[in-house]
Amino acid sequence: MSSFLKDVESQFDNVVASLDLPEGLAEKIRVCNATYVTRFGVRLRGKIHTFTGWRAVHSTHQNPAKGGIRYSSIADQDEVEALAALMTYKCAMLGLPFGGSKGALKIDPSKWEENELEKITRRFAQELIRHGFLSSGMNVPAPDMGTNEQTMMWIADEYRRLKPDDINGMACVTGKPLGGNGIEGRTEATGRGVQFAIQAFFETPSDASKAGFSGGDLHGRSVVIQGLGNVGYHAAKFLSKEDGCLITAVIERDGVVRNTAGLDIEALKTHVAATGGVHGFEGGSYDPEGARALEDNCDILIPAAMERVIHCGNAGAINARLVVEAANGPTTYEADQKLRERGVVIIPDIYANAGGVAVSYFEWVKNLTHIPFGLMERRYDEKGHRTLARSLEMMTGQAFPKEAEAAFFQGRREIDLVRSGLDDMMRSTYAELSRRWNDPDDPARDLRSAAYTLSINRIAEAYKAIGI
Ligand code: NAD
């Protein structure tokens, strides 16, 4: 029977068959190194509740192993190992110095109060720390489905309590709040990366034309998004506000809300936060059959909720020309083949949602260097720019334009540097994937194969370098 893990392994096998790797290395890269399972009790509401959690370490060809922790009532070991493998490939594809890991706790966070979630999270963190699955040099989690910056802060604080002498303790987890040694732009990072990925695709006319688009402008493109959580909300917000896309449908757990003129994403987010779903939102028409809206007619479909939502049962009915996998593993292996046969282009998860781990990398580096980005250069740059402006004024006899002053004189802030670094990583990686997809001698079958090939070759190089 197919499963999320089998899907990821099939993608891997498919690509590896055409690579020239030393005997046995493919198997070494493919398998998950270790999975830690913990069952722990927490006294809540007058009795002891037992929780099950996992932390899978897929690869430590680079240390630390990096990957989020999700809270979900349907989490299991297969899912965690599949997600850990995706993290290995994602980090290697971006060229980050990380192995791949992932964790999960089998819990429905909406069923627990904030103070109860704190107790449960701290207890889970203790288990991870005690067994060597949490530290800045070995294993560094981040937020994922059902967790957020608050969850990460509890984990970091628990680490600090148990290891007060570790000067790099705060780098044991990323996605922390700003006041807790986080970094500007981490919360928006995955959605921002999705936006950069779509921009890069449309700015490459040869690729856009493969999906039947004339390329260029995103203005007026219709977009359907599944999941208005961290990733889906930020992607929807940036695409509608900054690129002029029309978000024509948002699918949530309780159904879908549609508006062909484009939904007001801020108003919808406020409604979802207040009511827990899209039902009752006045800015669109509601339908309880949420999953059916994946088949809506649109330019871009962005599954941003969970895995395996595009499968054999609906792949033939998908009407989008471009699927952007903001979630991890939203398309099954068979559905991927079906979509490809129908000419639908997929921007694969390991690239599309890589913005989160890219900015997590910046946060980890910031924590390890113990200095905010831009601190040493900011005033120096500002002074240099003022001198340059004065020199221009003296040389030309004209005043420096007032409207350009703010942008020219202001030194680089942390958010500017983070967005610039993320933009660069997403665009330069896309250029490499596109180059492989369009290689006249040996074209990759699609963007996913290009991404896996780039990543597996880099991991193989790391193993070869240490003589394995
Ligand atoms: P989240 O918990 O913030 O949001 C998930 C949203 O999806 C929620 O609003 C939830 O109600 C909705 N949802 C859940 N099941 C659904 C269903 N069956 N139909 C419709 N909506 C549903 O999670 P997130 O952090 O936004 O993660 C979403 C996806 O993105 C996951 O696959 C995750 O692994 C992936 N991802 C997240 C990050 C990150 O930085 N948070 C990074 C990379 C990948």
Other CB atoms closer than 10 Å to residue 439's CB: what's the count? 11
- Does the pLDDT value for residue 411 go beyond 80? no
How far apart CA 260 and CA 460 sit, in angstroms, is 47
For the residues 209-217, what does the mean pLDDT come to? Answer: 88
418 neighbors 358 (Cβ within 8 angstroms): no
pLDDT at position 427 is 97
At residue 85 the predicted structure's pLDDT band, cuts being 50, 70 and 90, is very high
Which amino acid appears at position 161 of this protein?
Answer: R
How far apart CA 369 and CA 110 sit, in angstroms, is 37
The domain made up of 34-182 has a fold known as: Rossmann fold (3.40.50)
User: Catalytic annotation on 102?
Assistant: yes
CB distance 353 to ligand 1 below 6 Å = yes
pLDDT in tens, 325-354: 999 999 999 999 999 999 999 999 999 999
pLDDT at position 2 is 83
pLDDT at position 100 is 98
pLDDT at position 383 is 92
User: How far from chain centre, in Å, is Cα 342?
Assistant: 27
CB distance 301 to ligand 1 below 6 Å = no
Cα→Cα distances 221→15, 168, 313, Å: 32, 45, 26
Q: Model pTM?
A: 0.95
Between the CA of 138 and the centroid of ligand 1 the distance, in Å, is 26
pLDDT at position 291 is 96
84 neighbors 100 (Cβ within 8 angstroms): yes
pLDDT at position 388 is 94
Between the CA of 303 and the centroid of ligand 1 the distance, in Å, is 9
pLDDT at position 62 is 95
How far apart CA 69 and CA 360 sit, in angstroms, is 13
At residue 407 the predicted structure's pLDDT band, cuts being 50, 70 and 90, is confident
- Which stretches of 175-264 are DSSP H helices? 189-202, 205-210, 230-241
183 neighbors 347 (Cβ within 8 angstroms): no
For the residues 43-67, what does the mean pLDDT come to? Answer: 97
For residues 134, 117, 358, 62, the Cα torsion angle rounded to the nearest 10 degrees is 20
Instruction: Tell me which of 376 and 338 has the higher pLDDT.
Output: 338
The token pair at 21 is 């790797």
Catalytic position from the list 66, 102, 176, 366: 102
Which amino acid appears at position 308 of this protein?
Answer: R
Between the CA of 222 and the centroid of ligand 1 the distance, in Å, is 21
pLDDT at position 151 is 98
- Interior/surface letters 183-206, b for 16+ CB within 10 angstroms, e for the rest: bbbbbbbbbbbbbbbbbbbbbbee
pLDDT at position 466 is 83
- Does the pLDDT value for residue 300 go beyond 80? yes
Domain ranges of the chain: 34-182, 189-355
CB distance 7 to ligand 1 below 6 Å = no
The token pair at 390 is 């004065």
pLDDT at position 385 is 92
Cα→Cα distances 54→36, 40, 221, 250, Å: 6, 11, 40, 31
For the residues 397-422, what does the mean pLDDT come to? Answer: 90
pLDDT in tens, 245-272: 999 999 999 999 999 999 999 999 999 9
For the residues 103-109, what does the mean pLDDT come to? Answer: 98
How far apart CA 46 and CA 39 sit, in angstroms, is 19
327 neighbors 349 (Cβ within 8 angstroms): yes
Q: To which residue do tokens 């250029």 refer?
A: 431
At residue 395 the predicted structure's pLDDT band, cuts being 50, 70 and 90, is very high
Among candidate residues 139, 176, 94, the one with its CA nearest the CA of residue 355 = 94
User: What mean pLDDT is reported for the chain?
Assistant: 96
Helix or strand run (H / E) with residue 347:
strand 345-347
At residue 40 the predicted structure's pLDDT band, cuts being 50, 70 and 90, is very high
Atom of ligand 1 nearest to the CA of 328: 32
pLDDT at position 442 is 86
Between the CA of 125 and the centroid of ligand 1 the distance, in Å, is 22
Q: Which CATH class is domain 189-355?
A: alpha beta
CB distance 174 to ligand 1 below 6 Å = no
Which residue among 83, 231, 275, 353 is best mutated to probe the pocket of ligand 1, counting the most ligand atoms within 8 A of its Cβ?
Answer: 231
Percent of the chain residues topping a pLDDT of 70: 100
Q: To which residue do tokens 């003296």 refer?
A: 394
How far apart CA 415 and CA 373 sit, in angstroms, is 9
CB distance 304 to ligand 1 below 6 Å = yes
At residue 182 the predicted structure's pLDDT band, cuts being 50, 70 and 90, is very high
Other CB atoms closer than 10 Å to residue 60's CB: what's the count? 17
At residue 320 the predicted structure's pLDDT band, cuts being 50, 70 and 90, is very high
pLDDT at position 409 is 83
For the residues 185-212, what does the mean pLDDT come to? Answer: 96
For the residues 416-431, what does the mean pLDDT come to? Answer: 97
pLDDT at position 412 is 82
Topology match between the domains 34-182 and 189-355: yes
CB distance 229 to ligand 1 below 6 Å = yes
pLDDT in tens, 129-163: 999 999 999 999 999 999 999 999 999 999 999 99
426 neighbors 432 (Cβ within 8 angstroms): no
